[in-house]
Amino acid sequence: MTDAPALHGHHPRIGRLHGKTALVTGSTRGLGRTTAEWLAREGASIYVSGRKQEDVEATIAAIETLGVKAWGSPADLAKPEEAHALAIRALETAGPFDILVNNAGMSQPQPFLDVTDAEWDTELNTNVRSPFILSQHLAREMIAYGIRGRIVNISTIGVFAAHKQQMVYNIAKGGVQAMTRCMAWELGQHGISANCVAPGAVPERPGSQEQTDSGALQVWSERIPMGRLGRAEDIAAAVVFFCLPESEWTTGQTLLVDGGHISYLRED
């Protein structure tokens, strides 16, 4: 795996991912930002990606205060050509990578009967096609450099139980889980693992109802056996697990992180 560049004036903590380099998409806010920070605290250098240049620059500065190197560039992953461009820029700037976290995602809640072709294309491109493209680029480099890399994709509880008015999002994330299993099969011979984290009710999740309706917070909490909504840190911890040296033999898995939500059907 790659060695992190020497830092001038920084003395990073020797974490469990020291010397690794990670690309985290959608890492300027929410789940992606927290995940990038958790990987950085474990010693990984981070390549940041988000839609806006100013957000990328602010996130780079914040991550560098954690004592690791950070780079980044903006990309709109609803456009496949920008996914290709992001991969090429990232590899030229900071590659090869040891870790890819395909976190960026989006949802446009719509009733099934009202979904347009444009909405379908935007959601499928962002949620599954761009992760496919990025995984191709980075996995090729991992293989070329003999890196036993890690790919971690982000799905949703909606693959297991339908989200209201989010059929296209759930379809795309179902594709992400299938892609994860297929990548695990094809890349395992190269020592590369591929796993998936499926968040439950987390306010930072794209398109989540609790993100826009504060009055739903208590209702959602009552539906979850652990008694609270999820936090970005809950998801980041699962991503970090899949990146650790100790988890190398775990591949092709989807870990549902939902506070037990799906295990309990309320009848009132």
Q: Kindly list the catalytic residues.
A: 169
Tell me the backbone φ, ψ of residue 194, rounded to 5 degrees: -135, 125
Beta-carbon neighbour count of residue 217 at 10 Å?
14
Q: Are 208 and 166 in contact (CB under 8 A)?
A: no
Burial class (CB in 10 A: 0-12, 13-18, 19+), 126: buried
* Residues 6 or more apart in contact with residue 185 via CB below 8 angstroms: 252
Closest CA to 50 of 17, 24, 20: 24
Q: Which one-letter DSSP state was computed for residue 34? A: H
Cα separation of 254 and 258, whole Å?
A: 12
Cα separation of 150 and 147, whole Å?
A: 9
Cα separation of 246 and 128, whole Å?
A: 28
